[in-house]
């Protein structure tokens, strides 16, 4: 599978009450592709949860400017846990690039768009 779809991913995991539109899935996929090329986003050759979240937020600012956080919220990407949920669904759907994300990586607590950025655990 090369390009993930929202419908196939939203039905792949037990937490199916948390839906993410296809744009959210594609944006996380886009961030994974960037993270694969960024050695700072990796640990032991795999993309880390922290690295992927950092790149995703940087891409949101690059692509949407000051509206980046609002766009992510519209896509139900509110916290780093949401990013992790999308990644798990992509891995279950056997999306190639998602297999390069560390399956043991912790996505909890890296960011919450309702909190000030200085309270996030991300390292810039």
pLDDT in tens, 12-44: 444 456 789 999 999 999 999 999 999 999 888
What is the rounded distance in angstroms from the CA atom of residue 36 to the CA atom of residue 55? Answer: 10
Q: How many domains is the chain partitioned into structurally? A: 1
Please indicate, yes or no, if residue 62 is contained in any of the structural domains: yes
Please indicate, yes or no, if residue 1 is contained in any of the structural domains: no
What is the rounded distance in angstroms from the CA atom of residue 7 to the CA atom of residue 93? Answer: 11
Please indicate, yes or no, if residue 14 is contained in any of the structural domains: yes
Please indicate, yes or no, if residue 118 is contained in any of the structural domains: no
Please indicate, yes or no, if residue 119 is contained in any of the structural domains: no
What is the rounded distance in angstroms from the CA atom of residue 124 to the CA atom of residue 121? Answer: 10
Residues in CB range of 22: below 8 A, 6 or more apart? 5, 6, 7
Please indicate, yes or no, if residue 108 is contained in any of the structural domains: yes
Within 13 A of 32's CA, how many CA atoms are on the CB side? Answer: 25
- The percentage of the chain sitting over the pLDDT mark of 90, rounded to a whole number, equals 70
The answer to whether 47 and 102 have CB atoms below 8 angstroms apart is yes
Range of the domain at 10: 6-112
Please indicate, yes or no, if residue 124 is contained in any of the structural domains: no
């Amino acid at each position: 599978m090369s390009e993930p779809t929202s419908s196939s991913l939203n039905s792949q995991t037990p937490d199916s009450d948390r839906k993410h539109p296809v744009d959210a899935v594609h944006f996380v996929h886009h961030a994974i592709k960037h993270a694969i090329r960024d050695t700072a986003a990796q640990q032991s050759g795999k993309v880390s949860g922290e690295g992927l979240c950092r790149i995703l937020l940087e891409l949101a600012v690059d692509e949407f400017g000051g509206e980046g956080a609002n766009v992510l919220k519209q896509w139900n990407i509110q916290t780093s846990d949401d990013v992790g949920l999308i990644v798990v669904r992509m891995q279950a759907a056997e999306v190639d690039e998602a297999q390069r994300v560390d399956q043991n990586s912790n996505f909890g607590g890296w960011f919450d768009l309702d909190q000030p950025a200085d309270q996030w655990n991300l390292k810039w």
